[in-house]
Amino acid sequence: MEEIYRKARAKINLSLDVVGKREDNYHNIESIFQKINLYDELYISKTQTNGIEIKTNVEELSSQDNIIYKTYQLLKERYKEITGVQVRLKKKIPMQAGLAGGSTDCASFLFGMNQLFDLKLSKAELEKIGKSLGADVVPCFYNTVKGEGIGEIITPIYTSLKYYLVIIKPKICCNTKEAFKKIDEQRNMKQSNNSNKIKEALEQNQLEIVANHLYNVFEEVIEEKELIETIKKELIQEGAVRKFDDWNRFLCVWNI
């Protein structure tokens, strides 16, 4: 086998609560992660070199700051059978959109390298490597999960619920580090704690209950909250499922 093709699917947070700050300055969260059918494409092929070359349609991602480059360096140090590779990355997932574009690329690259070089790494071993590379990497190994800790404590969710999802990426960016800082400053902020309710609703294929309990704590501190509210109202007018007494919690979906 000389080349591997992988789809790196984006994820959304159906719920996200920050439940505390840790001594290592990371934050413990509680979230429902859902993969969606928006994906980057990775072509990973062996080369005769001794390094990695990344070719991509997004110029800034071809640098050594790319998490794929860091993942390759880590694997190369641990597994001597790994030779040079070329990665062709077709980027479709918007950047700085909370869709885990970098993390899902990392997860797919790990799976691809494991297969390409027949490393025989177990799922647990891949997760351990993924955890060392980023908090959102491990949830990207799964379709639907409840994530706790920094995202690495995983409870798989088994559901057959299907729905159409509308994603809108305004021309704004949410700096995650700054958002966490603002949350830390608002010590008495009330959060939803809805993750278990959404988990149960997904397992029971109850779309409206899912929609009724959606929540993302970052909306409480984002500067462009008024813009987000306007977008929500327009989507709801077009028929989105939502909680009728709360504009802050809705899912723009249509039943299949």
**140-185 tens-digit pLDDT:** 999 999 999 988 899 999 999 998 888 888 887 777 888 888 998 8
Q: What's the confidence (pLDDT) of residue 242? A: 63
Instruction: List, for residues 111-128, the tens digit of each pLDDT value.
Output: 999 999 999 999 999 999
Residue 244 in this model has a pLDDT that exceeds 50: no
Enter the tokens of residue 18: 């920050």
Residue 29 in this model has a pLDDT that exceeds 90: yes
Strands 250-251 and 153-156: what pairing?
unpaired
Q: What's the confidence (pLDDT) of residue 171? A: 82
Enter the tokens of residue 34: 């859902």
**CA nearest neighbour of 126 among 144, 146, 106:** 106
- Among 86-100, 145-159, 195-209, 228-242, which stretch is predicted with the lowest mean pLDDT? 228-242
Q: What's the confidence (pLDDT) of residue 75? A: 97
One-letter amino acid of 89: L
One-letter amino acid of 181: K
3-state secondary structure of 90: strand
Q: What's the confidence (pLDDT) of residue 191? A: 82
DSSP string for residues in 69-80: HHHHHHHHHH-T
Q: What's the confidence (pLDDT) of residue 36? A: 94
Enter the tokens of residue 132: 């060392």
Residue 11 annotated as catalytic: yes
CA dihedral 147, 152, 157, 161 (to 10 degrees): 70
* Average pLDDT value for the chain: 88
Question: Which sign, positive or negative, has the C-alpha torsion 107, 32, 175, 246?
Answer: positive
Residue 256 in this model has a pLDDT that exceeds 70: no
Enter the tokens of residue 209: 């209950």
Residue 76 annotated as catalytic: no
Q: Are 15 and 198 in contact (CB under 8 A)?
A: yes
Q: Please tell me which residue in 136, 146, 199, 232 is annotated as part of the active site.
A: 136
Using alpha carbons only, how large is the chain's radius of gyration in Å? Answer: 19
Residue 233 in this model has a pLDDT that exceeds 70: yes
Residue 251 in this model has a pLDDT that exceeds 70: no
Enter the tokens of residue 82: 């790994």
Instruction: Write down the pTM of the prediction.
Output: 0.87
Q: What's the confidence (pLDDT) of residue 177? A: 82
